Structure 1
Amino acid sequence: MTQPTTPISRRSILRTGAGAALAVPFAGSLLTSCSTKSTSTAPANKTVTVTSYGGSYNDQLTKTILKPFEKKTGIRSTLLANTSLAALKTQVHSGDVQWDLVELTAPEYVQAVNEDLLEKFDYGIISDKGLPSYAKAEYGIKYLSFLFVMAWDQKHIPDGQAPKNWAQFFDQGRYPTKRSVYGQLSDSSVLEAARLAEGIPFDKIYPLDVDAALRYLAKHPGRDKLIYHTANQEPVQQLTSGEVTLSTSFNNRINAARKDGARLNFSSSNGVLAGDYFVVPKGSRNKEAAFRLMNFMSNDADAGADFDQTTNLTLANTPALAKLPAAVADTLPTSPKLAESILVRDDEWWAKNLKATEQRFKLWQAGS
């Protein structure tokens, strides 16, 4: 992939490759890229319309989850690639709800709850036995999770000499080199990493002291020792090219690069967990089918493991761990072995403070 000309978030990467085909036709449905409607005329709860971000990710979601779900239940799925909080809101307010299961970012989820746009999840239909503790919410499930981690180039930093915590990662004396950090605060947890480096315990990170985090970064490693990336593929490019030897990244990106032969590694310990939600719009005519799909996604071990291995992402499905190699399973945010050593990003704090924090961060980057 070429270097981006504009900032790209984690989720926009999922759209890559969608091209003009913004809808993935599944089970016979034919949809256009500009439509927000399902064309299904099936009886209620015999079909479910899902919206996500498109590209190869939608193809993978169809293969690993939706097709096996149909085979097991007989419920057909239509997968769209035009997910949008604005469109969800329009459908709910108009009373013409066409979507049944909608992918939202964490801040969008908080906003949708606050605006009363969502159905409560029915945990009588959805078993929570397969869900990690962080994933279950009243109006949705954080079904997809990422770990913001410290990564290194094994050619220059052997695993035995790699940083074991954020204080070591930022220690300029220990690693006299520049570091690449993610500059998009909507996804980046570099400020949390700075507070963790100062020894602040997990339960005291929020409300986030932004100024304290920036003061730490100004000294460790120093403002001039930081390179900022704005797209998910950049850390892998920077590490493999030798531009940097240390970088923040996401666990799935480094795992994918390792599969391709890159000599990179990362530490899940002290990672910061974030993720996307699946929600059901208020007024969905197929909400029972949507809940049954969420139950399948959360508890079917084979489907969950296939999803994790195919996408290099992590489904909120703990039974899948037993189907994966231990070397992989133990690094995933769903692993019970990591429960006490990762920080769960506070979605409500970021939903309220993102804009102001982004402005403060940009001023700091500029030297103000």
Structure 2
Amino acid sequence: MVRKWRIALLAMMLGFSLTACGSKTDSASAEQQLTIVDFGGVSSEAAKKALYEPFEKEYNAKITVVSPPDEGKLKAMVESGNVEWDVVSVFPHFVPRFEKEGLLEKLDYSIIDRTDIYPYMVSDYSIARYSYFWNIAYNSDIYQDGNHPRTWSEFWDTAAFPGARGLWKGPEGTLEMALLADGVAPDKLYPLDIARAFNSLDKIKKNVKVWWESGAQPPQLLSTKELTAAAVWNGRVSAAKAQGSKIDNEFNQAIEVFLSWVVPKNAPHKDLAMKFIAYASEPEQQAAFSKLIDYAPSNKKALELLPEDLKQRLGRSEQSKNETVIMDVKYWSENYDSVYDQFNKWLLK
């Protein structure tokens, strides 16, 4: 009798052991791996602390971060049937093209809460992770006591505001700045008058010392006074200023852009990808990210968790919200290739 009891007990214990082993194997399975593609640099470091590491802990997942995004590689992966990426950060004007070519999964809005995301930042296939600004940045030693360019027209005016300028080596944002400098009203920008934009750029071309390609360039060149003013991503300037650089942002006529999350078609871990995007879209995580780098949340409720001085630095104060311009994603999605070609030809003149 005792022997039978011992056998039953051993069988029960073995059953518990097998169950436990099965649970452990599931948690460590390939389904808990996630590959995320973002742009690297300081924004990636902020995302690691505010999003990636907390998500890994909460979901018992392992995130591999790849940088930078490559739209051509995403397309090649999907078309070859060998998709390695799960979540990709992209410029939103690529989304309609990717959607048309069947390169993306529809986002699962039964999991992702889009309620408080700014409506212009959401589509069936993408949702914004944060917004940033193309704005005027300047050396605050050279331009003191508020005497710095406050409009793109003043930025263009190197007689009133002398010194070398820096502009992005690409047409997005740059053409909008040129038109604003030429007197076009913010609500009349689109569709862009390309000929007028290039005529405006002709007027400042000789003063553009650097056509920059990396976001780290302008803050460095501004801090060393090689440039007096530049068109810059605001978060890069704030980060450099916090480290002691004598540079600052001007948000008047700043052009708002945002980055979006997408999931490639047939992503290997699609379900976990949707859970990650849902997590990254929550106000608490977005507020944590904005506290680490001065990029604005796409979730309106996240702003309620931020102090007023930070909202000012994010371009989300009550005053700055009325001064900024939202880039037209639809326009760029339809005209990207042709305008880029014209811009590159203009640069070579």
- C-alpha displacement at 1:90, in angstroms? 4.0
- C-alpha displacement at 1:192, in angstroms? 0.3
| Root mean square deviation of aligned Cα | 3.0
Which structure: larger Rg? 2
- Say which SS state the counterpart of residue 329 (structure 1) adopts: helix
What number of residue pairs does the alignment pair up?
322
What is the alpha-carbon distance in structure 1 between the residues aligned to residue 130 and residue 301 of structure 2? 15
Counting helix residues as a fraction of each chain, which structure ranks higher? 2
1:256 is matched with which residue?
239
- C-alpha displacement at 1:42, in angstroms? 4.3
Among 198, 202, 209, the residue aligned to 1:218 = 202
2:100 is matched with which residue?
114
- Quickly say closer, same or farther: Cα 1:217–1:53, change in 2 above 3 A: closer
**Counterpart mapping for 1:295-334 below 5 A:** 295-301=278-284, 303-332=285-314
- TM-score scaled to structure 1, two decimals? 0.76
2:23 is matched with which residue?
none
**Counterpart mapping for 1:24-173 below 5 A:** 41-43=29-31, 48-54=34-40, 58-72=44-58, 74=59, 76-81=61-66, 83-95=69-81, 97-173=83-159
- Quickly say closer, same or farther: Cα 1:339–1:137, change in 2 above 3 A: farther
Q: Is the 8 A contact 1:105 1:275 kept in 2?
A: yes
- Say which SS state the counterpart of residue 146 (structure 2) adopts: helix
Deviations 1:272-307 (A, max 9, x none): 122332111223454343222222212232x32332
Identity %: 26
What is the alpha-carbon distance in structure 2 between the residues aligned to residue 348 and residue 211 of structure 1? 20
- Unmatched tracts of structure 1, length 5 or more: 1-39
Deviations 1:215-266 (A, max 9, x none): 22334xx432232332322322322222232221110111011101112111
Relative to structure 2, which stretch is displaced further, 131-140 or 347-356? Answer: 347-356
- Quickly say closer, same or farther: Cα 1:152–1:60, change in 2 above 3 A: closer
1:185 has 2:204 as partner: no
2:6 is matched with which residue?
none
- C-alpha displacement at 1:313, in angstroms? 3.8
Among 291, 302, 323, the residue aligned to 1:341 = 323
What is the alpha-carbon distance in structure 1 between the residues aligned to residue 267 and residue 346 of structure 2? 45
